[in-house]
Chain A
């Protein structure tokens, strides 16, 4: 019963059934999408208009503009929605057919409002295969997954294919491990299938520990069934009867949705005994990590499942021969498993037609940092770094200059502007000193200090080193000591060479991937940004104004209006001056927290940050001169 008449004049008048999807990925939830979802349900109900379903999805990808609302089937896309906007969306758009233009995404360059998400450059340049369902289905309903062709590949495998044929198909597709190392997935399965032993294990590595990366989390939250389907297919191909999903404990929503999905798959007979009457049994158990980065390493992860400290061990024997509980084990990343159903469904030839000669398919990245648009993206392998940053990412915020893109997390490296034309694939990134990694891509601009960034990554890997190998445990500590003293302005001649030498020792002398790659951020920043190191070491200067010990704050006497805002806010009591007196920072007392810079009204902009130079200021507070306030009435000092 449609009690309201839809305005027939509106070009967007709609009579069919529409679904209003509210994004409930972690990013949007933190922006209040749960409240928006509830408000929307209430409003739609009270509007008494027919044919509108309110539902939610997992991560849509465009987290920066969240909370997001997507209206299907048209694809209308609202960004940065607030609870207050809901009545307008319901009445203007859903009831009367007039979409709410102010909530559309506005192109930052042209200012044009874009109604459909597929027309937004952030989405238009992507090719979503692994993320095919993310943001389009309700992750807590298996029916939604089935409706978009879910578990079709599984049926095909069980009814028409032998395990050998499945392995052959995955090999032909050219799929390589999406966890970072890029080992051919089909080959890995073949090893495990061929390994002697009846009992075999299959593990999904969801211990996404790289800071700045949330690809796996988003997939597990938005489309858990695709991972489960991929795992069942892999288990069939290998002959594994027990599976584990190892998920970070820091991802409570992913854990919750996985639990729901596993239960639904069991209820439908897709997991358990005699799956689809094939005489094949397979169960999946969910294991929560406990916060140790090194457990992302496959042998460390298996130790952790066994209830031990997650310390990696030497290989061989490889897990395919002797893994979990000493049995043949195959372990793949979340994205690798999520790729499998599409490969089976569309065929290996189709998948292999995407990407480059050696890197097939697509790559999923968490694009973050200083880009205009950040979020979850998927691109064909071989796309240039520049296309990702400028086309999808929309360039750098505030018109600043691109400095570097960091890929591969703490194991990866920093790529400078000269690499923007570089194709993004396994080989090119490794050659440039970085790596594909699991998919973190952090873009930094001129305001980021590369020495500090290297110190940051190393402080992370140093703390996460399990301590088993001396070069990793002690070597990273020494490298960190050197980097810390450089950023403190106590760098010594020869420090850069010492870092290079230690880096080689750590790389060559460590057992697992953590130690072997931990020096990468240091090596690449030295390779591409050596001038920043020399500025710190030789001139005791931080060009990006980041390293606290190397910067100073000054209040410009010709701009200060004596408003006392900074004086009252200074936690160190380092600022002197009075009402309408020019304020002065006592450099000995200043703790360089920058709060004066934060609070100084932009119309005065009297506080400056400098490194390696001095600003002439009076020795004690002097009266604010009248001539300085002449410019514009807005420059009046605020006196209380």
Chain B
């Protein structure tokens, strides 16, 4: 782990003030922040592990568990809420049998609820990885999920 992260961490050695960008860089490299990574960051920046974890857990962006191949984010912003965003989320929860913050057992999908993408004019919105799907309905969301599932079945 130290070897894997040293390239990312060396430029920040001792820079306590860079904790947030360092966490972002490490997460970008590893996909999430495993315990060992927290220790490494603490070591390089010269702060305690509890402080690193305290800051990381304060911000919604950071994950502490391995994520699925695809991340599905269902927007629960105001515009999406008044246009039925909750029903989209509930449908995805049922189809994947996971709760927001969870990952399917086969590490295929992670599900997140987010507060707003700023695509409010297209509400309700669902985002898979970086693709935005607008004007969702529960049947449309179901179809999109099925396409991603299909892709997994045919390639693997």
**A359 close to chain B: CB less than 8 A:** no
Contacts of B18 in A (CB 8 A): 307
* Cβ-defined contact, A26 with B119, below 8 A: yes
* Cβ-defined contact, A212 with B24, below 8 A: no
Q: Which of A163-171, A195-203, A330-338, A440-448 contacts B (4 or more CB under 8 A)?
A: A440-448
* Cβ-defined contact, A63 with B122, below 8 A: yes
Q: Which residue of A lies closest to B87 (CB)?
A: A594
A444 vs B82: C-alpha distance when bound (angstroms): 7
Evaluate whether A304 and B20 lie within 8 angstroms (CB atoms) in the complex, with A30-B134, A212-B120, A214-B118 already known.
Answer: yes
Q: Which of B1-9, B59-67, B101-109 contacts A (4 or more CB under 8 A)?
A: B59-67
Contacts of A580 in B (CB 8 A): none
* Cβ-defined contact, B132 with A292, below 8 A: no
Q: Which residue of B lies closest to A249 (CB)?
A: B61
* Cβ-defined contact, B138 with A26, below 8 A: no
Give the shortest distance, in Å, between A127 (CB) and chain B (any CB): 20
Evaluate whether A251 and B118 lie within 8 angstroms (CB atoms) in the complex, with A291-B60, A304-B20, A456-B78 already known.
Answer: yes
Contacts of B125 in A (CB 8 A): 30
* Cβ-defined contact, A593 with B90, below 8 A: yes
A587 vs B20: C-alpha distance when bound (angstroms): 50
A63 vs B115: C-alpha distance when bound (angstroms): 19
Contacts of B116 in A (CB 8 A): 209-214, 250
Contacts of A288 in B (CB 8 A): 20-21, 24
A18 vs B91: C-alpha distance when bound (angstroms): 47
Contacts of A375 in B (CB 8 A): 121
**A290 close to chain B: CB less than 8 A:** yes
- Tally of contact residues, B, Cβ under 8 A: 45
**B54 close to chain A: CB less than 8 A:** yes
* Cβ-defined contact, B24 with A211, below 8 A: no
* Cβ-defined contact, B79 with A212, below 8 A: yes
Q: Which residue of B lies closest to A572 (CB)?
A: B94
**B98 close to chain A: CB less than 8 A:** no
Evaluate whether A309 and B58 lie within 8 angstroms (CB atoms) in the complex, with A27-B121, A214-B118, A442-B78 already known.
Answer: yes
Give the shortest distance, in Å, between B53 (CB) and chain A (any CB): 11
Interface string of A276-295 (1 = CB under 8 A from B): 00000000000111111100
Q: Which of A218, A291, A440, A456 is the one whose CB lies under 8 Å from B59?
A: A291
Q: Which of A293, A366, A594 is the one whose CB lies under 8 Å from B115?
A: A293
Q: Which of A249, A308, A598, A599 is the one whose CB lies under 8 Å from B24?
A: A249
A598 vs B54: C-alpha distance when bound (angstroms): 44
* Cβ-defined contact, B115 with A460, below 8 A: yes
Interface string of A548-581 (1 = CB under 8 A from B): 0000000000000000000000010000000000
Evaluate whether A209 and B134 lie within 8 angstroms (CB atoms) in the complex, with A307-B18, A369-B83 already known.
Answer: no
**A583 close to chain B: CB less than 8 A:** no
A26 vs B17: C-alpha distance when bound (angstroms): 31
* Cβ-defined contact, A598 with B138, below 8 A: yes
Interface string of B37-68 (1 = CB under 8 A from A): 00000000000000000110011111000000
Interface string of B113-156 (1 = CB under 8 A from A): 01111111111010000111110011100000000000000000
